[in-house]
Every structure is written in structure tokens, then in C-alpha cells.
Amino acid sequence: MPTGQGIDGAPELFTPNRFADQVVLITGAAQGIGLAVANRIAFEGGKLFLVDRAELVGEVADEIAQRSGADIGWATADLETFEGAEAMAQACEDKFGRIDVAINVVGGTIWAKPFEHYAPEEIEKEVTRSLFTTLWSVRAELPRLIDAEGGTIVNVSSVATRGVNRVPYAASKGGVNALTSALALEAAEKNVRVVATAPGGTLAPERKVKRGPGPEGEQEKQWYQAIVDQTIDSSLFKRYGTLDEQAAPIVFLASREASYITGSVLPVAGGDQG
């Protein structure tokens, strides 16, 4: 099972110069999958613009730049609003003059419980976090890719579109899948590819910035454990994936090696198709 090196060094496997002379914007880059993707592309020659709502993204950018020598800019942004997404895209353009590749990672389950236990405001927050962050980001990125006469958008979805105890999150990621396939139809004639991966359960260090409250009480812990159990049972390998195993297919789809792939959502979940 590949482990990768994460923030502490170069990835275990990478392709030098695969992103040479390309500007790559990555959202959700301060932690988890976004950080693993940023680390890999930095060692593959890309110019990076890292975005997160947490100030931690600045520290991450400095650390990756010191180890890889990559040219890296960064910004904090509230991607739950179009204004935040537009400011992010403009900041990248101000730094590098263009966007060649946009990788949208922001999202994640806030609560874990059966649907009948979600309050209306919790449903809205889940959809805002895991659908609108991608929808607004793509809306801000797309005109700039068109102006640059082509580029690539990679969205990060989830196989949890078929999963227990997180229906609002599943619906949101279903929206990301639909966004990807529908926009690919429109954008192809403008030389813009739109693709996605759908990760399964992924091993990662404890988050420095939490997505939301953790399970409290025995009932909430059981609801969350049901997600873990289903995730493992649905994988043919009966395990979670690693950050490196998630980053590798994202980076491939973002690269020019995948130039004839668009509209696809690739499950990366040990055989779980979602």
C-alpha cells in the first residue's frame, strides 16, 4: 500500500516536469487531499496558487516552496460565496497572469446521522459546504480558462453518493458529478476539460481545522461508526485509501496526459463505485 511522503518530503512516486510552465490553482489546499495534491504538483514543476479558508494555507505554501523550489502563491477565501470564489480566481490571475488548471477539493461531511435527524439549517450548511463551494469556484474559474484558450477543471466528488447517514452530503456530491458531466458538454468546444474523482474513505492526519463538531454521545458515535463500517465493507480491499492514492489520479486527470478525457467521474475507492 503506497504511503507517500505528504508535507514532509517529495512524493513516493511523481513525474518530473509534468506541469512545467502551468499555473495550477488548488482549493482546500491546507490539509488532506488538497495538500497532498499540492505537494505532488510542486515536485512536478507546476506554479501553484493554494487556497483555503484557514490561514494555515500560508504556512503550507511556504513549506512546500522551501522543499520543492516551486513558485507558489496563496490566499484565504470563503468559497461558500461567489464573491469569495471570484476574489480567489482574481488573486491567482494577479499573481501569475492566468489559470491553466483548477483543482477544486473543498467539501466534507459536517454531521453524520440519519436524514430524519437533520435540522433544516444543517441541510443547508451541508449543501453550501460541499456543493456551492465547487459550483462557485467553477463559475469563477471557467471564464479565465476560456480566456486562456483552454485548460482543465478537476472537481473532487465522493463515492458517498451511495452511503449511509449523510444524505445532504451525498446529494451535494451528486450535484458535483452532474456539474462535471454537464459542464463538460458546454466547455469542450472552448478547449476546457472538466473531470472529477470520487474518493472513498481516506486515511489522513488529524485535521488542524475541524470541519464541524465531532460525534457526541453514544448514539452519534454509533451513527458515525456505521459510515466507517460501510466504507470499509464497500471497498474490495477492505481498507481506507491513503492521501497519496487519492492525489495520484487527481494529478493525472489534471495533466496533459489526460487530454482526451472529459466529463468523467473516476471512483477512487478500492473498487467501490458509489
SS (H, E, C) 190-228: HCEEEEEEEECCECCCCCCCCCCCCCCHHHHHHHHHHHH
Contact 101, 152 (CB under 8 A): yes
Torsion of CA 219, 108, 164, 195, to 10 degrees: -170
**CA–CA dist 271, 62 (Å, integer):** 36
**Of 169, 224, 240, 260, which residue is the catalytic one?**
169
DSSP state, 14? Answer: -
**CA–CA dist 88, 136 (Å, integer):** 11
**CA–CA dist 181, 3 (Å, integer):** 31
Q: Is 118 a catalytic residue?
A: no
Indicate the residue type of 244.
Answer: D
Residues designated as active site? 169
